Structure 1
Amino acid sequence: MKKCWASLFTPRSIFYRVEQNFDHRKVKLAVVVQHMVQSEKAGVFFTVDPISQDVNKMTIEGAYGLGETVVSGSLTPDTYTINKKSLDIVDKKIAKQDWMLTKVGEKNVKASIKKDFQQMQKLSDAQIQELARIGRNIEKHYGWPQDIEWAVEGGKVYIVQSRPITTLRKDVTSRYTLAGTPGGKPEREGPISEDMGVSLEPSEQENAPSREEMPGEMVSISKAKTILKGLPASPGFSTNRVRVLLDLDDLSKMQSGEILVTVMTTPDFVPAMRKASAIITDAGGLTSHAAIVSRELGVPAVIGTGEATRKLQDGMIVTVDATKGIVYEGKVDISELAKPSTAVIGGESSPITATRVYVNVAEPDVAEKVAKLPVDGVGLLRAEFMVANMGVHPRKLYEEGRSQEFIDNLAEGLSRIAGAFYPRPVVYRATDFKTNEYRNLEGGEKYEPEEENPMIGYRGAMRYIREPELFELELKAIKKVREDMGLKNLWLMIPFVRRTEQIIAIKRMMESQGLHRTKDFKLWIMVEVPSSVFMIEEMCEEGIDGVSIGSNDLTQLILGIDHDNATIAGEFDERSTAVMRAIQRVIKTCKAHGVTSSICGQAPSVYPELTEKLVEFGTTSVSVNPDVIEKTRRIIAGAEQKFLLDRTRKIAEKLGLDEGEVKHTLPSQ
């Protein structure tokens, strides 16, 4: 149990929370102790088909023994497709299973299955329909598509886990309203869950040979020879050479654009998966590592073929149709099936808005992929992940004479993000670790005090002024990226500014390092404490280029509500009149002084009415996480249109004109 609790503070868990903008103190962990179902059969169940995302179809995967084998993808399960309305079984894929995992005494052991049972259907039709009926009721109860784990013991069906599916397209999720959730959407667990052993990264197949460059004659789909069939885990098509990887020692052989063939992938395979133009595995189901990671990387994948590593050899040319789960011999003309889509995210073009939509980024490895989204730049580049990845407290590096190591590592991460978005602006928020978070780094316990409330403790601008030698390391990294690498789109933002005097002191430190406010180097501050709301006019007059409102901390401090306190957390609301008045004051004051105003966080995408107010106040931008970029832009577009229509009506009423006459006189956005 202690090990379970301690897993909340592994480096991977800490990174995941930083990446998803979760407060470390808010995330709680409970260890559930329950009776183990000694299952004869077990598996997973999706109440919406995860591949086709057809809301009228449900998918059940099942195997003999404990369900761990299905969840981990260590073997290929049966797959049953059910009509959600009628509960009719519309498709079955029966997989051969010659071993299973079962509990003997206190241990899970691998046991052989009698030959007569190996190719039998694991669940009877009656059990499939019983399970389907239960799953349909669970989805109805939660008001959202469910990812369910089930088990059968003594002929009785048990549900051992149910959680929302978080990877569905927006046109699918728009049909649902999650019970008890104002926004009608569950919190995302992230593109790739932390136990996958990898953060989201783009594939590395840009330089892969084209289909035309492959040797051999292309044949029509009607004449193509099918070599393998499996589960279509990640849709798409590819024609290329095969690379069979049976051992981790072979990973270095993988070349960009090749088709990766293996028994089953693990987190160690991810570097090779990024290079692959397609992935084929012997084993695994729709919840296996290969399935989940290939979908997130956008790499076509056919899994659970049973014999890919036996039938395919290095250098063979094959065509993968991962929309149907088929592997063809040689070059196949699948142009009729793989017509390129002209649609963009969400199925239609993203609207143009006067209010800029920026994105929050923390991890350099995702920069290239996120930069392809319809965003105007990075409104919040968090430093914490890059520093945490170094693993050592900056003070320790400084005292050991390793300052350049810190500068180089930080500059490398900053340059990758600034380069991916160039020439769009990238606003780097200087380190904003709280003392309890800094203590987790090597050497942290020596240098960091223990505080009762780190949220309002030794952090942000105050820390930079008291420890200028450490803040200068960040300034030198910024200067290196801008001057040595030529990435002039990198700007600076100072967090948790409490007083105008702090801005003055920090500007002097910047100037001492040769960083001056210019047309292409902007200085922003974060407005997170009530004092900066009251002093915003003086701060603008002192000389800043932009502000970003941290609505989470600001709401907490204005309302006097600790959102980690379950007793009162329900009162936490950014739409509170007091908070909205503070935001209005900041935006309007900034506008009067020609200072950019923004807000970072998810509130604009969660509360359309708040977004309408931001547009009305005159905010120049918002910055949100990658998964809600398009949703936010559409909300803003609607808010801007409503604002213009209201403005038109007021002018028409004042002038005694028809609205149509006034519209011709209004400047366009």
Structure 2
Amino acid sequence: IYGLGELIVQGAVTPDHFEVDKATLKIKTKTVGNQEKAMIWRHGETVIEKLTSTSRDRQKVTDSEVVAIAKLGLQLEKHYYFPQDIEWAIENKEVFITQTRPITTLGSASKHTNTQRVSLEAQLPKTVLLTGDPASPGIACGPVQIIKGVSEIGKVHSGDVLVAAQTNPDYVPAMRKAVAIITETGGRTSHAAIVSRELGIPAVVGARGALKKLTNGQVVTVHGSKGEILKGGMSKGALLQNELKSEQKVIPIDKLPRIATRLYVNLAEPDKVEEVAKLPVDGVGLLRAEFMIAGIGTHPKKFIHDKKQHLFVDKLSENLKTFCEAFHPRPVVYRATDFRTNEYRNLIGGKEFEPEEANPMLGYRGAFRYISDPAVFKLELAAIKRVRNQHNLRNLWLMIPFVHTPEEMIQVKKIVVSVGLNRGSSFKLWMMCELPANVILLDQFIDTGIDGISIGSNDLTMLILGVDRDNSEVAGVFNERNPAVLWALEGGITTCRKRGVTVSICGQAPSDYPELVEKLVDWGITSVSVNRDVVAQVHETIHAAELKLLANKGKKR
């Protein structure tokens, strides 16, 4: 187009479209768009100018310039070892590259014409009803269904936009039916955000006033990438375009360069495990227990009370088997239950067995719970044993969350060993490193006899900064790149390297911040575990960081 590229982003103009043969550099397809206006930089500000009738239908760049840009694209791909998405500009007949980044959505090209490729953004509703934090990318529309408690989740039907103050594991069955999620509270590490990313549906969290401003049955469009809730829906054409855009997210595994840092994926839901297992990952770095147990629906202690604990073991082992079979022989690191008491209470029978706590986030959870009342933990261990021994899926490992002291880790290890699960070449025992004490006393935790740690950057950031990560009021303070958090990350990685144990990270941070991934690689992290939707991006970031590290080492020699 003529002028600045902002009008393309807005979908306000239709650009010229060229396709160049990669091998011969010959122009295969050329479509010239009709451009009525242009954004121009003039006297220190941008202004919109109408174009003359003679220039509107004119080809904006010459054929030789198109070929020159294609050649630059090939050079950049060769330089970065990966196909690139490039932004460029031409001034005084000179081509300038303004930005380049890896293409992460390669797939079969759409057969639709250039006219049908008009920006999806331009077809969205214009009225913004609410804004919040963009928690899970994507765009979807549907009728609002407000849920004010777990007892109302049955009101959600397929295709609804679920709106709630917040969500917890009991909401998952309803979230599976929804096309999008909106919550009034919470940040990008909240339950709603984590589950929405796993389900692959857009979500906006921390949208204040959603319960008052939205009404049941009202049709809205949720823009999860921008954190906007828009009035009205999208046209059928826009919906089709959105679906086509999603369908094209095919990662070319054979084209991805090799990396030394292991790349894992975070998972919780067994529904899409076959699809996720096809991604270029080295295994599951965090398999959350809570979602599977919420799916079972009944408190484990009620199973024990009713002398039906075998049913719990049956159901949990089947879920674990699904993950392990899909990823075999790649490891699946199962994090044992880290339910908080308020979440456990919502299960069938939960109120009989769970205390009411003023602050469940810092309450009866994790390793301390296993030691105080090992019965439920032993059911989990029985399920792990069954998967490993009866189904011969030895790629299932165990990770212990929220460990306050080295003494707690020793006590938990005794329980694990007592049921016949012993550390070895095929069974690794990891510990979540998510409390400041875990970093400060890491040498002592390693002395207890663990194979590795996984840094839970969500809780670690919360506890270092003293910020409730589920509280949208203080969401602006929550920052994994805070110097205090970076100090803890670097210290933990350095200690593990010196002691010869593996160190991973499984919080939200590496999924959001490429610059942090670079630091982790530079410090020597063993593996990074991320959300499934950013696997390709993080893979490329790791690759670039490793190349940079090698180049720097070469210079020092």
Partner residue, 1:279: none
2:516 is equivalent to residue 610 of structure 1: yes
In the alignment, the residues of structure 1 paired with residue 313 and residue 283 of structure 2 have an alpha-carbon distance, to the nearest angstrom, of 24
CA contact (8 A) 1:500 1:542 kept: yes
Partner residue, 1:558: 464
Picking from 285, 291, 294, the partner of 2:236 is 285
Higher relative contact order (CA 8 A, sep 6+): 2
Query: Which residue type is aligned with residue 519 of structure 1?
Result: S
Would the alpha carbon gap of residues 48 and 384 (structure 1) be closer, same or farther in structure 2, given more than 3 Å must change?
A: farther
Query: Which residue type is aligned with residue 500 of structure 1?
Result: P
Picking from 506, 509, 514, the partner of 2:412 is 506
Partner residue, 1:245: none
- The alpha-carbon deviation at position 351 of structure 1 amounts to 2.2
Would the alpha carbon gap of residues 439 and 191 (structure 1) be closer, same or farther in structure 2, given more than 3 Å must change?
A: farther
2:370 is equivalent to residue 452 of structure 1: no
- The alpha-carbon deviation at position 442 of structure 1 amounts to 1.1
1:502-541 alignment to 2 at 5 Å?
502-541=408-447
Query: Which residue type is aligned with residue 614 of structure 1?
Result: L
- The alpha-carbon deviation at position 510 of structure 1 amounts to 1.1
Give the superposed CA RMSD.
Answer: 3.7
2:344 is equivalent to residue 368 of structure 1: no
TM-score (norm 2): 0.60
1:299-318 alignment to 2 at 5 Å?
none
Would the alpha carbon gap of residues 471 and 350 (structure 1) be closer, same or farther in structure 2, given more than 3 Å must change?
A: same
Query: Which residue type is aligned with residue 485 of structure 2?
Result: V
Partner residue, 1:395: 301
Q: Deviations over 1:35-63 (max 9, x none)?
A: xxxxxxxxxxxx999xxx99948xxxxxx
In the alignment, the residues of structure 1 paired with residue 450 and residue 13 of structure 2 have an alpha-carbon distance, to the nearest angstrom, of 50
2:136 is equivalent to residue 187 of structure 1: yes
1:173-572 alignment to 2 at 5 Å?
187-188=136-137, 195-196=158-159, 199=176, 285-286=236-237, 345=251, 349-572=255-478
TM-score (norm 1): 0.51
Partner residue, 2:124: 148
Would the alpha carbon gap of residues 464 and 85 (structure 1) be closer, same or farther in structure 2, given more than 3 Å must change?
A: farther
Partner residue, 2:487: 581
CA contact (8 A) 2:433 2:453 kept: yes
Q: Deviations over 1:559-610 (max 9, x none)?
A: 1122344443312211111111111111111112211100012322322221
CA contact (8 A) 2:458 2:469 kept: no
1:587-606 alignment to 2 at 5 Å?
587-606=493-512
Query: Which residue type is aligned with residue 412 of structure 1?
Result: E
Would the alpha carbon gap of residues 537 and 190 (structure 1) be closer, same or farther in structure 2, given more than 3 Å must change?
A: farther
Picking from 605, 625, 629, the partner of 2:535 is 629
Partner residue, 1:315: none
In the alignment, the residues of structure 2 paired with residue 485 and residue 395 of structure 1 have an alpha-carbon distance, to the nearest angstrom, of 26
Q: Deviations over 1:439-460 (max 9, x none)?
A: 1111112222222221111111
Partner residue, 2:49: none
Q: Deviations over 1:224-283 (max 9, x none)?
A: xxxxxxxxxxxxxxxxxxxxxxxxxxxxxxxxxxxxxxxxxxxxxxxxxxxxxxxxxxxx
CA contact (8 A) 2:331 2:395 kept: yes
> SS where residue 449 of structure 1 aligns?
coil
Partner residue, 2:73: none
Q: Deviations over 1:359-411 (max 9, x none)?
A: 01111121111000110100000111110011111111110111011000000
In the alignment, the residues of structure 2 paired with residue 462 and residue 162 of structure 1 have an alpha-carbon distance, to the nearest angstrom, of 41
CA contact (8 A) 1:192 1:198 kept: no
Instruction: Name the larger-Rg structure.
Output: 1
> SS where residue 452 of structure 1 aligns?
coil
In the alignment, the residues of structure 2 paired with residue 576 and residue 567 of structure 1 have an alpha-carbon distance, to the nearest angstrom, of 18
- The alpha-carbon deviation at position 348 of structure 1 amounts to 8.0
CA contact (8 A) 1:148 1:161 kept: no
- The alpha-carbon deviation at position 145 of structure 1 amounts to 3.1
In the alignment, the residues of structure 2 paired with residue 405 and residue 84 of structure 1 have an alpha-carbon distance, to the nearest angstrom, of 66
Query: Which residue type is aligned with residue 187 of structure 1?
Result: S
Would the alpha carbon gap of residues 446 and 191 (structure 1) be closer, same or farther in structure 2, given more than 3 Å must change?
A: farther
1:159-174 alignment to 2 at 5 Å?
159=127
- The alpha-carbon deviation at position 528 of structure 1 amounts to 0.6
Would the alpha carbon gap of residues 444 and 588 (structure 1) be closer, same or farther in structure 2, given more than 3 Å must change?
A: same
- In structure 1, runs of 5+ residues without a counterpart are 1-46, 58-82, 91-135, 151-158, 164-179, 201-283, 299-340, 652-669
Would the alpha carbon gap of residues 532 and 359 (structure 1) be closer, same or farther in structure 2, given more than 3 Å must change?
A: same
- The alpha-carbon deviation at position 427 of structure 1 amounts to 0.2
Corresponding pairs, count? 373
Would the alpha carbon gap of residues 162 and 562 (structure 1) be closer, same or farther in structure 2, given more than 3 Å must change?
A: closer
Partner residue, 1:125: none
In the alignment, the residues of structure 1 paired with residue 281 and residue 138 of structure 2 have an alpha-carbon distance, to the nearest angstrom, of 22
In the alignment, the residues of structure 1 paired with residue 468 and residue 548 of structure 2 have an alpha-carbon distance, to the nearest angstrom, of 35
